[in-house]
Structure 1
Amino acid sequence: MKEDIILLLREIDKVSEDAFVKINFESYVSKLMEHAKIFSDYRSNQLIAFIAYYSNDPLNERGYLSMLAIHPEYQNRGYGKKLLNLAIEDLRSENFKYFDLQVVMNNKRALKIYQSFGFNLLRMDKKCVFMRLIL
């Protein structure tokens, strides 16, 4: 799955300059594979979408969304919402109270989706918006 995720992130990066804060995909995905929960969606043996989040802060009852990525050809078809719902339900089942995230400020589509799920603004900096969903 690691190589599939890297390929998907590269596909997204080709068509959207502002989708990601500049990261090294290989090291980032290695970290995800080791520490995050990942739900994925494949079509015809191709990864078309995944969500990666951390649920390793039970003391503060907080999960953290690291990445929600949808292949450009499959966007606006509900895959992101489906994966986000899976993550939210998983965190609720583990009795987490918060689900935090940050998103690049220019990613208006992502901001709109997160707001539709009830994520609220925590703070902003020059590049990112920090949001929280109360579970």
Structure 2
Amino acid sequence: MIEQGSYLKSKIYDLMNLMINDESGLFEVGDLDGYIDKLIEKACIITIMAQDALQGFLAYYANDYENKVGFISMLIIDPSTKRMGYGRRLVEFALKDLTMKGFEKCRTEVNADNIKAVNICKRLGFTYVGNNDVYMVFEKQL
């Protein structure tokens, strides 16, 4: 029997690797294995599966109970299933979960060159609140 964590890790690895190698230059992760291990260990992960294929996933953190701020770390949808509403549904599910857990805000960070991701944030009601060293920061009141 395959351990659920290693099964999920292999599916996430394959999908993230596909995005890293898509030649857009918009997606990069230094230590992919380490990053996925961190997500599996510490983040909440929601997946969309079809016939044993990972169509997309969203990873978010619900651990800042002091400030009541959740954080969406990663949203990836398989390019073959884009424009089917999967990303929106994953984000809506995460926001609903954060609200039920008592969180008041949700933040995310987006590569400024990733116009599609910037537009998705705006469409989903996130507001631009500034930049950090690398990314645009968006926030949504829950």
TM-score band (shorter)?
Answer: over 0.9
Q: Is the 8 A contact 2:19 2:27 kept in 1?
A: no
Cα shift at 1:126: 6.2
Output the CA distance in 1 between the equivalents of 2:50 and 2:64: 33
Output the CA distance in 1 between the equivalents of 2:98 and 2:18: 29
Aligned residues: 135
Output the CA distance in 2 between the equivalents of 1:20 and 1:38: 19
SS of 2:17 mapped into structure 1: helix
Cα shift at 1:125: 4.7
Structure 1 segment 61-80 matched on structure 2, within 5 A: 61-80=68-87
Paired position in structure 2 for 1:52: 59
- In the alignment, structure 1 residue 6 sits paired with structure 2 residue 17: no
Find 2:48's aligned residue among 41, 65, 81.
41
Structure-1-length-normalised TM-score: 0.94
SS of 1:38 mapped into structure 2: strand
Which structure: larger Rg? Answer: 2
Cα shift at 1:16: 4.3
Distance 1:126 1:62, change over 3 A: closer
SS of 2:63 mapped into structure 1: coil
Bigger RCO (CA 8 Å, 6+ sep): 1
Output the CA distance in 1 between the equivalents of 2:42 and 2:77: 21
Output the CA distance in 2 between the equivalents of 1:105 and 1:115: 13
Cα shift at 1:14: 1.8
Please list every run of 5 or more consecutive structure 2 residues that lacks an aligned counterpart in the other structure: 1-7
Overall identity of the aligned pairs, in %:
29
Cα shift at 1:53: 0.3
Distance 1:17 1:76, change over 3 A: same
Please list every run of 5 or more consecutive structure 1 residues that lacks an aligned counterpart in the other structure: none
- In the alignment, structure 1 residue 82 sits paired with structure 2 residue 89: yes
Cα shift at 1:62: 0.4
Paired position in structure 2 for 1:98: 105
Structure-2-length-normalised TM-score: 0.90
